[in-house]
Amino acid sequence: MVVGDFPIELDTLVVGAGPGGYVAAIRAAQTGQKVTIVDKGALGGVCLNVGCIPSKALIQAGHRFEEAHGSDVMGIKAENVTVDFSKVQEWKSSVVHKLTSGVEGLLKGNKVDIVSGEVYFVDKNTVRVMDDKSSQTYTFNNCIIATGSTPIEIPSFKYSDRILDSTGALNLKEIPKKLIVIGGGYVGTELGTSYANFGTEVTILEGMDDILGGFEKDMSSIVKRHLKKKNVKIVTNAMAKSSEVTDTGVKVTYEAKGKEETIEADYVLVTVGRYPNTGEIGLEQVGIDMTDRGLVKIDEQCRTSVDNIYAIGDIVAGPPLAHKASYEGKIAAEAIAGEKSIIDYNGIPAVVFSDPELATVGYTEAEAKEAGYDVTSSKFPFAANGRALSLNSGDGFVRLVTRKEDGLVLGAQIAGANASDMISELGLAIETGMTAEDLALTIHAHPTLGEITMEAAEVAMGTPIHIVK
């Protein structure tokens, strides 16, 4: 290859090395394509570096600190429990480093060329890659765009040392005494819970009538109940209006129930959504069709309106989930290879690592009815499961949404301990066309939380064992 004024010819170019891009690159290489991946930041993208992974590490550390104080109900008492937050951050960073270095090894192991720089599209077969020192032109046969998204900034809450996005909140050098969270979605709830477990006095300001709006009310109500036990204050239908940064913290003025209130905290965390990174990479040069929100329009194989360019992840419609991006990355790579893979979002789960965890996959009861199905909704409580009780985690339930005529599993929701792990079995049930009877006939080890899924299936069949019909 000649570097300089002459274009470098590529087979498949992947733009962005997050959970969508690096997975797409590896799958494309596995299908025999010669792949180059470009990213201006660290391998692993937002998820591995400043999102999914570090947030879960911080959440887990918060749980450990909370548990270390003992459990009176179990007869366990502890005194003088302390936390070295610099060590917590050091451990969190070590987890991130292991995974990001692992991604680099996987890419190199699959013979994917890695290029660092910022991409700008010149035309449908050409990009310019720039870094601080130079730029280089590349031509490609096919391209997968996976540039991810960026936190939305509220005009009256400009990011600073005191007003933080999720990245800033993950990298604090101290445990705040007080924290205001603007936005009660999954990011705000997760990080708010994490710091509450460390002893922070947390206030959540949510503009809608409830937190965790993407989940059903009987699920979010369990989380709210646990947040209140942690002394988290939740203000709904609240509009954050202005902020004043001082030497020691931030004053926030908000309006709720027609009345203005002012509260103070050490830091403010703003989590009101994300916008797609599509605005400054030259897509208008290529003629790719976009939505009014700046999302790229794609077909069922993640192909854009330009037939050799594909788009995946946060820059296309759907929830900004890492596993959705990875899934789409595989589809796009296989489509380039001539395979007949197509996207089917019905089996993609959504999870909140709250306390307790929430998870959903497929249809809710309301969505199934809206889609024209005659359904049965069947719920089994954690409180009737031996393993849940032995974990002191009896709050929650598993609910199955099944087609009434034959018991086909159309959807499921879990609120409770380890919901994030348990939802996979129900995603598999939807993907493979299983019925409630299939789940009920699957022998689950005892005593485990997985039995709750089996029991919910028996409720759907009308033959529950451990609750009265």
* Helices marked H in 230-342: 283-286, 322-336
Q: How far is CA 6 from CA 94, 123, 188, 355, in A?
A: 41, 16, 48, 56
Which one is catalytic: 63, 226, 444, 446?
446
Q: To which H or E segment does residue 50 belong? A: helix 45-50
Residue 244 marked as a ligand binder: no
**How many Cβ atoms from other residues are within 10 Å of residue 445's Cβ?**
8
Digit-coded pLDDT (tens) for 210-238: 999 999 999 999 999 999 999 999 999 99
Q: How far is CA 149 from CA 31, 46, 278, 316, in A?
A: 28, 8, 8, 10
Residue 273 marked as a ligand binder: yes
Residue 184 marked as a ligand binder: yes
Residue 206 marked as a ligand binder: yes
Residues 6+ apart with CB under 8 A from 3: 136
Peptide bond into 447 cis (omega under 30): yes
Pairing outcome for strands 201-205 and 233-235: parallel
In 3D, which of 398, 326, 332, 392 has the Cα closest to residue 359? 398
Q: What integer pLDDT is reported at residue 5 of this predicted model?
A: 62
In 3D, which of 244, 231, 225, 134 has the Cα closest to residue 192? 231
Residue with tokens 């890695």: 114
Residues 6+ apart with CB under 8 A from 381: 394, 396, 397, 467
Buried b (16+ CB within 10 A) or exposed e, 362-382: bbbbeebeeeebebbbbbbbb
Please say whether the dihedral angle defined by the alpha carbons of residues 23, 24, 25 and 29, taken in this order, is positive or negative.
Answer: positive
Q: Are 110 and 29 in contact (CB under 8 A)?
A: yes
Residue 280 marked as a ligand binder: no
205/254 Cα distance (integer angstroms): 8
Same fold, 8-150+275-345 and 163-272: yes
Looking at domain 8-150+275-345, its CATH superfamily turns out to be FAD/NAD(P)-binding domain (3.50.50.60)
In 3D, which of 315, 335, 334, 336 has the Cα closest to residue 325? 315
CB-based contacts of 128-135 (< 8 A; 24+ apart in sequence): 129/38, 131/40
Reported pTM:
0.95
Residue ranges per structural domain of the chain: 8-150+275-345, 163-272, 356-461
Looking at domain 356-461, its CATH superfamily turns out to be FAD/NAD-linked reductase, C-terminal dimerisation domain (3.30.390.30)
Q: Are 171 and 339 in contact (CB under 8 A)?
A: no
433-439-445-451 Cα dihedral, nearest 10 degrees:
120
Residue 318 marked as a ligand binder: no
Reading the chain (469 residues) residue by residue, the pLDDT tens digits are 334 568 999 999 999 999 999 999 999 999 999 999 999 999 999 999 999 999 999 999 999 999 998 788 899 988 889 999 999 999 999 999 999 999 999 999 999 999 999 999 999 999 999 988 889 999 999 999 999 999 999 999 999 999 999 999 999 999 999 999 999 999 999 999 999 999 999 999 999 999 999 999 999 999 999 999 999 999 999 999 999 998 889 999 999 999 999 999 999 999 999 999 999 999 998 999 999 999 999 999 999 999 999 999 999 999 999 999 999 999 999 999 999 999 999 999 999 999 999 999 999 999 999 999 999 999 999 999 999 999 999 999 999 999 999 999 999 999 999 999 999 999 999 999 999 999 999 999 999 999 999 999 999 999 999 999 8
Peptide bond into 319 cis (omega under 30): no
181/212 Cα distance (integer angstroms): 13
Structure tokens at 19: 């959970």
CATH of 163-272, one of 3.80.10.10, 3.50.50.60, 1.10.150.170, 3.40.50.300: 3.50.50.60
181/207 Cα distance (integer angstroms): 11
Q: What integer pLDDT is reported at residue 6 of this predicted model?
A: 82
Structure tokens at 468: 């009265």
Is 446 a catalytic site residue? yes
Largest alpha-carbon pair distance within the chain?
76
Residue 186 marked as a ligand binder: yes
Residue 62 marked as a ligand binder: no
* Helices marked H in 198-321: 217-229, 283-286
